[in-house]
């Protein structure tokens, strides 16, 4: 009998470090342990009621396909109700600039696939959102990392970006606000990066799913968008989503925004291959656009308080961090040599009054060897009193780990 083997793509597909401890966490839960999940960006903030009611009241005789690029009504609503506040003085976004996708992750995949061929490179700043690497592997392209460091506040040096460009480089991918560092790029920084992309003929893929979550700015502020930067019209591709903005991760509703007609055409053709985004999810997405702005003001206040609780708690136990400016993640250096081993041990073997903590080892957010080995990512998506409990678990766990 002939032996069957997986493709190299299948054999070498990287596991997500965000979900790497999922099986251990399930085993802990099955044994009666309370597991606090700070490894994954799953908010516990209530989804706007209008989204839930739109799903509950959905009534159709046939649950039919949507158009491959999404309902025109939804794209028009996004353009007129949402992006009018995002693009500032630039030409307005229209429904023809938007392709609806199955979550922001599919928008990211479509964007990367539209601008690269196998063997090409995409520049990222490490530590970076791990799906950039996962999709690069799937597409047969290489990640070219430029390292940002905590002693520089994880700020991104445009000169280092430019120095990392080679003949194989096709695009730059950056989140704003950042995951996992919480960095918020200023408009001037985006402008400098756009000039570099113009000079070298690169696309700029901006992951803007956390746009509302900025903390060192007046209430109601948005992180600067690539869509508002002059010169980015042809090279700019923005990834967006309902998941974090409306605490609706399970809706799997995202979209790609670009003024570049060819990029949009490619994304549409990819969308035709997968048929359509979800019909009911788009109904919920349209309802989300009627969410009052004070919803976001309250949500951002809550996340800022959670951030401050986590940062002060870590400082109390002797761990200093770069305070995030946005999103809801924190890169945390731990006093251990192998953070992945510690994180596994914590979930598998350590209990404090029947509770434990699940974290994401940060090494998987880097491409450079040995980077991030002593770091983890914590998502402050839990209530403040639970975050305080998690700090106690971490403190006691570190002591027990060293005393073994």
Of the chain, the percentage scoring pLDDT greater than 70 comes to 100
Question: Confidence class of residue 250 from pLDDT cuts 50, 70 and 90?
Answer: very high
Given a cut of 80, whether residue 1 has pLDDT beyond it is no
Tens-digit pLDDT profile for residues 153-168: 999 999 999 999 999 9
For the question of whether the overall pTM of this predicted structure is more than 0.85, the answer is: yes
Q: List CB contacts of 172: < 8 A, sequence separation 6 or more.
A: 122, 123, 124, 161, 193, 196, 197, 202, 203, 204, 205
Q: Parse the chain into domains and list their residue ranges.
A: 8-46+294-403, 49-288
pLDDT in the model for residue 3: 83
Question: Confidence class of residue 18 from pLDDT cuts 50, 70 and 90?
Answer: confident
360 vs 43: CA distance, rounded Å:
16
Contact 312, 163 (CB under 8 A): no
Contact 393, 356 (CB under 8 A): yes
Tokens of 158: 């445009």
Tens-digit pLDDT profile for residues 355-384: 999 999 999 999 999 899 999 999 999 999
pLDDT in the model for residue 155: 95
What are the distances in angstroms from CA 189 to CA 175, 224, 334? 13, 10, 30
Q: Does this chain's domain 8-46+294-403 share its CATH topology with 49-288?
A: no
CATH class assigned to 8-46+294-403: alpha beta
Residues in the chain: 404
Q: List CB contacts of 332: < 8 A, sequence separation 6 or more.
A: 314, 319, 321, 359, 362, 375, 376, 377, 378
Contact 44, 36 (CB under 8 A): no
Tens-digit pLDDT profile for residues 196-223: 999 999 999 999 999 999 999 999 999 9
Other residues' Cβ atoms within 10 Å of the Cβ of residue 170:
17
pLDDT in the model for residue 200: 98
pLDDT in the model for residue 51: 97
pLDDT in the model for residue 404: 87
DSSP string, 139-157: HT-EEEEEE--GGGTT---
What are the distances in angstroms from CA 371 to CA 3, 127, 320? 38, 9, 18
Other residues' Cβ atoms within 10 Å of the Cβ of residue 391:
21
**Peptide bond just before 146 cis, omega within 30 deg:** no
C-alpha 93, offset from chain centre: 23
328 vs 244: CA distance, rounded Å:
10
Report the run of H or E that residue 377 belongs to, with start and end.
strand 375-379
pLDDT in the model for residue 17: 75
CATH fold for the domain made of 49-288: 3.40.640
51 vs 34: CA distance, rounded Å:
30
């Amino acid at each position: 009998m002939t032996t069957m083997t997986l493709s190299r793509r299948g054999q070498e597909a990287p596991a997500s470090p965000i979900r790497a401890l999922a099986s251990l966490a399930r085993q802990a839960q099955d044994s009666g342990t309370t597991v606090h999940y700070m490894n994954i960006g799953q908010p516990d903030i209530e989804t706007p009621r209008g989204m839930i009611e739109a799903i509950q009241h959905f009534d159709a005789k046939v649950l039919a396909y949507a158009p491959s690029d999404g309902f025109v009504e939804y794209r028009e609503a996004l353009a007129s109700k949402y992006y009018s506040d995002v693009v500032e003085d630039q030409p307005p976004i229209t429904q023809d600039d938007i392709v609806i996708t199955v979550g922001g992750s599919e928008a990211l995949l479509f964007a990367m696939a539209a601008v690269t061929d196998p063997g090409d490179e995409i520049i990222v700043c490490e530590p970076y959102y791990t799906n950039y690497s996962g999709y690069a592997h799937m597409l047969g392209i290489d990640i070219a990392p430029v390292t940002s460091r905590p002693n520089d506040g994880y700020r991104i040096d445009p000169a280092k970006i430019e120095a990392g460009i080679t003949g194989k480089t096709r695009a730059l991918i950056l989140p704003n606000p950042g995951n996992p560092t919480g960095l918020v790029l200023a408009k001037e920084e985006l402008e400098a990066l756009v000039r570099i992309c113009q000079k070298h003929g690169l696309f700029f893929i901006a992951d803007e799913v956390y746009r509302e979550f900025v903390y060192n700015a007046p209430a109601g502020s948005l992180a600067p968008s690539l869509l508002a930067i002059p010169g980015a019209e042809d090279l700019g591709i923005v990834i967006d989503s309902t998941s974090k903005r409306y605490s609706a991760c399970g809706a799997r509703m995202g979209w790609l925004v670009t003024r570049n007609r060819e990029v949009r055409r490619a994304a549409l053709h990819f969308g035709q291959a997968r048929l359509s985004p979800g019909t009911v999810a788009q109904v919920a997405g349209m309802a989300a656009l009627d969410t009052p702005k004070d919803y976001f003001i309250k949500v951002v206040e809550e996340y800022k308080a959670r951030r401050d609780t986590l940062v002060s708690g870590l400082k109390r136990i002797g761990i200093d961090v770069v305070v995030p400016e946005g999103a809801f993640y924190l890169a945390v250096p731990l006093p251990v040599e192998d953070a992945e081993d510690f994180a596994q041990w914590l979930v598998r073997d350590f209990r404090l009054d029947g509770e434990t903590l699940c974290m994401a080892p940060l090494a998987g957010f880097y491409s450079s060897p040995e980077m991030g080995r002593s770091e983890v990512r914590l998502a402050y998506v839990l209530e403040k009193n639970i975050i305080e409990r998690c700090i106690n678990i971490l403190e006691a766990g570190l002591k027990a780990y060293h005393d073994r």
